[in-house]
Amino acid sequence: MADNFWPGRKVLVTGCTGLLGSWLTEALLDVGADVVGLVRDSVPRSRLIEEKIIDRISVVWGGVENYPLVARALNEYEVNIVFHLAAQTVVSVANQNPLPTLEANIRGTWNVLEACRCSSNLKSIVVASSDKAYGAHSVLPYDEEASLEGSHPYDVSKSCVDLLARAYAKTYGLPLGITRFGNLFGGGDLNFSRLIPGTISSVICGKAPEIRSDGLFTRDYVYVEDAARAYLLLGEKIATVPDKFGGEPFNFSYESPKTALEVAQKIVSLMKRDDLHPKILNVATNEIPHQYLSSRKAREWLHWEPVFTFEQGLHRTIAWYREFFQKTGLG
């Protein structure tokens, strides 16, 4: 990344209280950007608030479902870079109660894109899709040419996000890129129904971790600090070379798929609690059994390479949760 690109840039981050949003916001501040965060709910234990990142940014209170609010934020703060991360991201929540997920993920995205279309200041927009947008395919790993075939509520919402973004890029020439990440992990994920934070939490509490699937579901993973760096890189590339990078989707992962059982066992081992054997619940429904990605395009086009290995990311994540549970008294 160019040293002189980010200082003073006015950047809007939607979803900045989430796992990736908090790390991306901090990374933007570290490179000198002027950050505006769109915050729907105050989550006291989120990294954004707990680590006082929120005190260093301008805050607009509200959700992406509110189009006039999004448009006002873009115009009043003269935003020229947008990272659209706001979404309902828990697959099981989407399956149980799909309407809020569809509202936030689909309506929220078209609101952001339409507000960007009507803004004269925009130089770069990065829209968060997901590997789930591909749906279930028999040929793996997915590359960016694979069709988008979401079948269940969360997957469908992300297929729609992806298609909306590409429609606005192609029809209106919006300078945007699309990210499709493997499963993100890192300190600050407070959705303990997810495998990695849930396993770490269980081990800290001296309990055997529980796996909702049969343990054999396969996923790719990306540590959150590597993901934040990927966003900065893509945002800069779109702004500086829009003709090449505009409208393009990019996969990001460690290209090292692992089963849920392997991940849980690795965490138990790293935390030196091999006496805690993961319990297989086998209750997961309407989830894709096997997903993993090719990141070749990101490596060749963006020269993106992860800084951390999967194990190094787990070490950093475990350390964050140990400190978090100690401070909050939850362990």
Record the pTM: 0.95
Q: Specify the DSSP element, H or E, that contains 58.
A: strand 58-61
Residue 90's pLDDT is: 87
CATH code of 10-187+222-254+290-307, in short, is: 3.40.50.720
Residue 286 in this model has a pLDDT that exceeds 90? no
Farthest-apart Cα atoms in the chain, separation: 59
Q: How does the average pLDDT of the chain come out, rounded?
A: 95
Summarised one tens digit per residue, pLDDT across range 105-163 is: 999 999 999 999 999 899 999 999 999 999 999 999 999 999 999 999 999 999 999 99
- Report DSSP state, residue 277: P
Residues 6 or more apart in contact with residue 228 via CB below 8 angstroms: 20, 23, 24, 26, 27
Summarised one tens digit per residue, pLDDT across range 181-213 is: 999 999 999 999 999 999 999 999 999 999 999
Summarised one tens digit per residue, pLDDT across range 223-238 is: 999 999 999 999 999 9
As annotated, the active-site residues are: 154
- CA pair distance 331, 328, nearest whole angstrom: 8
Domain ranges of the chain: 10-187+222-254+290-307
